[in-house]
């Protein structure tokens, strides 16, 4: 009997020693790192799931909230203003210059940005903070959905991110099917009404958005996402619709004041000039589908949001 008790004590001590050894090994073992590839093809290595994220792009901030990873956000830029909850976050300055020290004091373990806002020199600056910098690129509408899923994997919310992305893909497909066979009205989307005038070119997600909405981008032959144009080239292309993303209700009057010849466009003659919400057009994310539905209804009034959403 005494032998049996002694054996149990010895076994208990051995198990205890093994557990302690395992705990020691685990505590001293390096974290298992994970490598991700961002939109620029850069390899981003993370030693653990990021818990302190700084978003330097309004659209990425919106994506983070959409996929349910907002609890990991510690800061955003002054341009990030949606959803309303973002105003509880710390604000960092990126314009007219990036405040690196401000970002550094927030101790991020991941910085998110886009190549539309930040060029190679900016990215090199951000890397001096000491945290990985993950860049997203949106050349096509599908890049928006794929980008959501990519961030979902980084933040360990892959299932929720995929569900959101799949629902947006389904709506995208539904709109595209609804506009098939419709007249592709010639469309001009001006991204800048100042000097120089700038329009959506034949590359990028906005050109694809025009096509999916059942329009024909008048500058689709320009092999760039955006292009500087002049009034003469606009008049030559005869746009039937003029789309002006702006928060300024007087933007069209100011455009005509600066370029009087644009009063002779087909769009003006047909009274088909529309000032639209710039945020949903310029922020590739969940609300891009709002822009797609919005533009579809502008170009084809019978294809309103309800008719598309309720289509079988």
Token pair listed for 310: 């309720």
Task: Please work out, in degrees rounded to the nearest 5, the angle formed at the alpha carbon of residue 177 by the alpha carbons of 241 and 226.
Answer: 40
Token pair listed for 227: 């292009």
pLDDT in tens, 234-274: 999 999 999 999 999 999 999 999 999 999 999 999 999 99
Token pair listed for 4: 């049996």
Does residue 25 surpass a pLDDT of 50?
no
Token pair listed for 139: 């050349």
140-156 mean pLDDT:
97
91-115 mean pLDDT:
96
Q: Give 228 or 9, the one with higher predicted confidence.
A: 228
Token pair listed for 173: 């497909």
**Burial profile 105-128: b = 16 or more Cβ within 10 angstroms, e = fewer:** ebebbbbbbbbbbbeeebbeebee
pLDDT in tens, 123-138: 999 999 999 999 999 9
Whether 105 and 91 have beta carbons less than 8 Å apart is answered as: no
Integer CA distances (angstroms), 169 to 159, 160, 220, 289, in order? 15, 14, 23, 9
To the question of pTM greater than 0.75 for the whole model, the response is yes
pLDDT in tens, 26-57: 344 444 579 999 999 999 999 889 999 999 99
């Amino acid at each position: 009997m005494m032998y049996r008790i002694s054996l149990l004590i010895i076994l208990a001590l051995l198990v205890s020693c093994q557990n302690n050894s395992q705990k020691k090994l685990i505590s001293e073992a390096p974290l298992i790192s994970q490598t991700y590839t961002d939109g620029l093809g850069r390899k981003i290595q993370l030693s653990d799931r990021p818990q302190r994220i700084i978003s330097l792009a309004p659209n990425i901030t919106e994506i983070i909230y959409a996929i349910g990873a907002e609890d990991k956000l510690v800061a955003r830029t002054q341009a990030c203003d949606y959803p309303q909850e973002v105003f509880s976050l710390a604000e960092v300055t990126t314009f007219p210059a990036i405040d690196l020290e401000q970002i550094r004091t927030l101790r991020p373990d991941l910085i998110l940005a886009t190549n539309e806002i930040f060029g190679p020199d900016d990215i090199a600056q951000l890397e001096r903070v000491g945290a990985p910098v993950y860049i997203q690129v949106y050349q096509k509408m599908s890049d928006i959905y794929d980008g959501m899923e990519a961030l979902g994997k980084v933040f360990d919310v892959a299932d929720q991110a995929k569900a959101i992305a799949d629902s947006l893909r389904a709506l995208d497909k539904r709109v595209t099917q609804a506009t098939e066979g419709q007249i592709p009205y010639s469309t001009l989307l001006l991204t800048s009404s100042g000097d120089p005038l700038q329009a959506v070119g034949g590359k990028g997600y906005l050109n694809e958005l025009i096509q999916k909405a059942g329009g024909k981008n008048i500058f689709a032959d320009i092999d760039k996402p955006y292009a500087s144009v002049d009034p003469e080239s606009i008049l030559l292309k005869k746009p039937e619709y003029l789309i002006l993303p702006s928060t300024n209700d007087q933007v069209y009057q100011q455009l005509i004041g600066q370029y009087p010849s644009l009063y002779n466009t087909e769009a003006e003659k047909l009274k088909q000039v529309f000032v639209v919400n710039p945020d949903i057009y310029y922020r590739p994310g969940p609300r891009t589908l709002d822009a797609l539905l919005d533009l579809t209804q502008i170009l084809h009034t019978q294809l309103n949001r309800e008719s598309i959403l309720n289509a079988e």
